[in-house]
Amino acid sequence: MAVSNRRQAISRFLVFAFVPLSIFTLVLIVPFVRGIYFTFRDWDGFGSTKWVGFDNYVAVFHDDKFWHSLWLTLGYVLATVVITNLVAFGLALLVTMPMRGMHALRTVFFVPNLIGGVILGLVWQFLFSKVIPQLPFFSSNWLLETNKAFWALVIVTVWQMSGYMMIVYVTALMSVNPEVLEASTIDGATGFRQMLYIKIPLIAPAFTISLFLTMRNAFMAYDLNLALTNGNPYNSTELMSLHVYREAFTRLDFATGQAQAVVMFIVVAAAALVQVVISKRFEVQA
């Protein structure tokens, strides 16, 4: 009996789990572990000859350009996460108002999200360089000025992501029990106070999710960065992801590039953990 049970367990594993787990391991786990391993060696992308300890990481921390891209990315994450969520929540409130036509507007706000970052980046590259300078009050190409190019990147990111987060907030707002709202209205809570004390606490999980998603997207931003500014002017808008890509594939410094990628992973993982733990504290049981 025990033998046939064991056999059954093995055949179950082979039928259901073996192939998916092998692919997952080969494509994700193996490169990840190898990648970490090679940051401690003098790796040229294909092979390595000796152990170098933390040399690659030391090189990363002495690289001013890396620090610049790291701080820039943190600023970008902060700006896009805050603005995207404010805009998305505002849009969600607007489109859930009981008025005709609001459904059609949801589509308009959502469409940028369907299209890939590269295409959107190219669209906006055209807008910033050819169209917007023709509008009153602008008159210059934002992509050519250090500070403005950063904000151009932020604006396009918000435009792209807010529709998606709007859907997340709309779903949450629609799921608030109308009886709870009614009861609070009877108790004298209306408009803004109802929003602040009843709705927002009840949909706190939506904020957790949305903050997590926007943060992850912002940390990993690459497509838009490449297509809109390509790091210009003077590398002033080169986010972490683009920096890592160039370190490895343009400057062909694989070991340092990979060490930077590992630092990036640690930053992302730590930020995600902190954010989820903090957000969970604000969620209430309803």
Partner 1 sequence: MKRVRRIRLVFLLLALALAALYAFPFIMVIINSVKERRDVANDPLSLPTTLKWSNFTEAIRKMEFWQSLGNSFIVTVLGVSAIIVASSLLAYYLSRTPSKFSKTTFLVLVASMVVPFQALMIPFSGLFGQKGLDMPQNKYTIAFFYVGFGVALSTFLYHGFISNIPRSLDEAAAIDGASAFGTFRRVIFPLLGPVTATVAIINALWIWNDFLLPQIVLLENDQKTLPLRTYVFFGKYTSDYGLAMAGLLLSIIPIVIFYFVMQKRIIAGISAGAVK
Q: Which of residues 51-90 bind partner 1 (CB under 8 A)?
A: none
Residue 124 engages partner 1 in binding (rule: CB under 8 A): yes
The helix (H) or strand (E) run that includes residue 9 is: helix 2-12
Report the residue from 70, 142, 149, 257 that binds partner 1 according to the rule CB under 8 A: 257
Which residues between 135 and 164 bind partner 1 (CB under 8 A)? 135, 159, 163-164
Residue 261 engages partner 1 in binding (rule: CB under 8 A): yes
Over the window 168 to 207, marking each residue x when it contacts partner 1 by CB under 8 A and - when it does not, the resulting string is x--x---------------------------------xx-
Closest by CA position to 70, among listed 175, 285, 219 = 219
Closest by CA position to 128, among listed 138, 141, 119 = 141
- How far apart CA 50 and CA 201 sit, in angstroms, is 55
Report the residue from 7, 10, 27, 187 that binds partner 1 according to the rule CB under 8 A: 27
- How far apart CA 34 and CA 97 sit, in angstroms, is 52
Report the residue from 72, 88, 117, 154 that binds partner 1 according to the rule CB under 8 A: 117
Report the residue from 6, 7, 28, 196 that binds partner 1 according to the rule CB under 8 A: 28
200 vs 205 by CB, closer to partner 1: 205
Exposed (0-12), middle (13-18) or buried (19+): which is 220, by Cβ within 10 Å?
middle
Residue 274 engages partner 1 in binding (rule: CB under 8 A): no
Report the residue from 52, 145, 199, 222 that binds partner 1 according to the rule CB under 8 A: 222
For the chain, helix, strand, coil in percent to 5 are 80, 0, 20
